[in-house]
Chain A
């Protein structure tokens, strides 16, 4: 691999690359459909989720299903860094990362699969603080309720 010099500090909101938080992705396909230059490829399959209750087994009620991500790729040889996928993602699975996509010796090196997209995550800055007096994030309220319930 080529050695690159360390990056100078970049200004806030720099568009370095787009990182994927796999755990948040529901394979909903919205980003792949919105992408103006068709650079996002998603493969997924559907799995049944055990509900933990005997009712489904005995009554034959339909099993709950969820989508499992098999492949998520952003082809950075096509990407024009418009950020529409980041904006459109309803589950906050895509983030702007300050890491840059480096040059390679083969154009196929620029087709980032999900492991490399995930490796871009650590540089993602924390979200900006909420405005004073704003409603508390729902995750915090839910976590507090769980704590109180024990």
Chain B
């Protein structure tokens, strides 16, 4: 499934025409962005009109202030054609209609996306946590989720050359670990 097949581009254009979407090509994949209101319609059309009958996966991306992108990958089980169908839900109270009515196999994926990102899939028959232990608090794949291991352990790169544990001058400005936000602004929003 590497490289953009001409068939995928053509299918993307057709799907975009059916549900007022826009086609984007990136890194060898064709992505169709569709309005959230027409999400179920778009997935149904991809299955019934375009022949993308294999549901591969569904997940989400935390776009911070931009909300959440919900993406699903659909493929033609025979040919090389495959498409990413994507929509956007708001950051406050994110919700989207379920596609379990179109692909029953989407159930687990939606349960996982629900527990990891807190996106409500309206109409899902049993939207229960799938992987996380009972009573787990928080949405681990949101970008504002505090990774306990990064808070519990001191960064080994914080020392300067010629320095061992505990012999640092406390006044000196420490190098901060890359990718870990400033503790002052780090936490639930």
Binding site for B on A (CB under 8 A): 26-29, 32-35, 38, 40-46, 65, 67, 70-71
Contact = CB atoms under 8 A, between A and B. Distances in A.
26 contacts: A26-B161, A27-B162, A29-B161, A32-B156, A32-B157, A32-B159, A33-B157, A33-B175, A33-B178, A35-B157, A38-B155, A38-B157, A40-B156, A42-B156, A42-B159, A43-B164, A44-B161, A44-B162, A44-B163, A44-B164, A45-B162, A45-B163, A45-B164, A46-B162, A70-B164, A71-B164
Contacts of A40: 156
Contacts of B93: none
A32 B162 CA distance: 13
A67 B161 CA distance: 7
A43 B165 contact: yes
Contacts of A38: 153, 155-157, 177
Contact of A27 (B153, B161, B178): B161
Contacts of A27: 161-162
Q: Secondary structure at chain A's binding surface: helix, strand, loop or mixed?
A: strand
Contacts of A41: 156
Contacts, number: 44
A37 B156 CA distance: 10
Q: Secondary structure at chain B's binding surface: helix, strand, loop or mixed?
A: loop
Interface of B: 153, 155-157, 159-165, 175, 177-178
Given A27-B162, A42-B156, 18 more contacts: A27-B161, A28-B161, A29-B159, A32-B156, A33-B157, A35-B157, A38-B155, A38-B156, A40-B156, A42-B159, A43-B159, A43-B163, A43-B165, A44-B161, A44-B163, A45-B162, A67-B162, A70-B164
Per CB-CB distance, the 10 closest pairs between chain A and chain B, nearest first, are A33-B157, A43-B164, A46-B162, A32-B157, A67-B162, A41-B156, A27-B161, A32-B156, A67-B161, A44-B162
Nearest to A27: B161
A44 B156 CA distance: 12
Contacts of B161: 26-29, 44, 67
